Amino acid sequence: MQLNKKVYSDYTNRPEKVLQFGEGNFLRCFVDWMFHELNKKTDFNGSVIAVQPIDKGMVDMLNEQDGLYTLYLRGLKNGKPESIHETIDVISRGINPYTQFQEYLKTAELPEMRYIISNTTEAGIAYDDQDEAGATPPNSYPAKLAVWLKHRFETFSGDQAKGVHIIPCELIEKNADNLKRILLQLAQKWDFGAEFINWLESACTFSNTLVDRIVPGYPRERIAEITEELGYEDKQVVEGEHFHLWVIEAPESLQNELPFPSIGLDVLYVKDITPYRTRKVRILNGAHTTLVPVAYLYGIDTVREAVEHPVVGKFIKEAIFDEIIPTLDLSKEELEKFAGEVIDRFRNPYIKHLLMSISLNSFPKFETRVLPSVLEFIRREGKVPQKLAFSLAATIAFYRGKRGEEEISLNDDAAILVLLKNAWSKYDGTDESIEDVVREVLGYEKNWKLDLNSVEGLTKSVTGHLVNITKNGMEKAIETV
């Protein structure tokens, strides 16, 4: 027996108000769940049409289940493991524009359609010079949306009240601004006319966003257990963590229409998402990047083991609270609350997050996620943050390619791998040759965007830590910081 309307007796038909580009795990675990909660706790009374943004996708499978799926939320809640599940009934149907293009366009004719959501991967919001307005459908997501908006504009004769709120969730900076720029570029290229362009700019709103929730996706390893628990088959089960955060640059009209915060969801309507993006990159992503080489060389393999370890866990917590948070401009209380949530997320007993899976491209990651904290700490405090410097030394040691007798499978840009191989080839066991390794790596301006040897005290600190790690091993070296 498969999940569908017949199995789920509480199914409710609602007006279709949301057009969603993307039918994958993240949107169903994040945005669709939020609209489901809005239906339960307010008079929103709306459903979602899921549009398949690429040729191959899952809308057929979704339609087989009448848009229904089971969501499992698993992780630490108030410090204790909790696993809950619920049937989500907010998706009314899925549409494949590659086989149902006219049906896709007709959704623009729905009077109550009001919100455009998307998650088409980081590459989805991009201009494609090959797109044509008459294609059925055009190739790129922005082009598909452009022809849909033009059809809506024409259907309602440019009625200002029939504009839409466009809320992209792609993980790129200024996602809505970039999408709007491409839509205007296409409108001009395709001669959609000044009236349409004016409608797009005056009747529609574009909100930059930041999204955050770990979504492991379909729980393949335990699907037999889930099927037995549910009593029916669900091919669209999705798993995620309890933590969720959606930061939206939004006009007051959107805040009034979608009162997510009032029902207890972690949705922030702000004028500028920049400090929140910086907070996430520096604390969550930065902590990952800081932790990986230290924990892995210590002999640990997963994030959870690392943060729960008495020595390594203490190291990463102090790095976050003592060296990263002091470089950020949001309130200390807000930053420490977020950091506490991050550590709980790292401790999620339901997610096995391998350190090696995070180690990909460690040097570019260090430059974007950790180096800004290092430089800002030096600017504000007048000294080098020793735990972050220790992590940089550990990263250089990691790229030596050995954990005891075990070979480390390094994965990075070819030029960086060559750089590190050449630098380590000159090591002869002396402290002076370690300093030469450090100077060569820190001087690689292509990665760092500057010569880090020019940063006062940094070369000396990193060299000292790398000497310690190389001669004494990670277990003893970490005790010094």
pLDDT digits (tens, 9 = 90+) for 37-72: 999 999 999 999 999 999 999 999 999 999 999 999
When pLDDT is cut at 50, 70 and 90, the band that residue 413 belongs to is confident
* CATH homologous superfamily, domain 16-270: NAD(P)-binding Rossmann-like Domain (3.40.50.720)
- Tens digit of pLDDT for each residue in 210-269? 999 999 889 999 999 999 999 999 999 999 999 999 999 999 999 999 999 999 999 999
- Identify the burial level of 35 via C-beta atoms within 10 angstroms of its C-beta, where 0-12 means exposed, 13-18 middle and 19 or more buried: buried
CATH architecture of 274-480: Orthogonal Bundle (1.10)
- Tens digit of pLDDT for each residue in 434-458? 999 999 999 999 999 999 999 999 9
Q: Which two tokens stand for residue 380?
A: 């504000």
Spatial distance between the Cα atoms of 373 and 286, rounded to a whole number of angstroms: 9
Q: Does the pLDDT of residue 122 top 80, yes or no?
A: no
Spatial distance between the Cα atoms of 119 and 31, rounded to a whole number of angstroms: 10
Q: Which two tokens stand for residue 354?
A: 């391998």
Q: Which of 171, 19, 169 is nearest to 95 (CA)?
A: 19
Asked if 374 and 389 count as a contact pair (C-beta separation under 8 A), the reply is yes
Rounded mean pLDDT of 322-347?
96
pTM higher than the cut 0.85: yes
Q: Where are the domains of the chain?
A: 16-270, 274-480
Extract long-range pairs of 399-404: CB within 8 Å, 24+ residues apart. 399/362, 399/363, 399/424, 400/424, 403/296, 403/297, 403/299, 404/299
When pLDDT is cut at 50, 70 and 90, the band that residue 411 belongs to is confident
Asked if 372 and 378 count as a contact pair (C-beta separation under 8 A), the reply is no
Extract long-range pairs of 5-8: CB within 8 Å, 24+ residues apart. 5/66, 5/68, 7/232, 8/66, 8/68, 8/87, 8/89
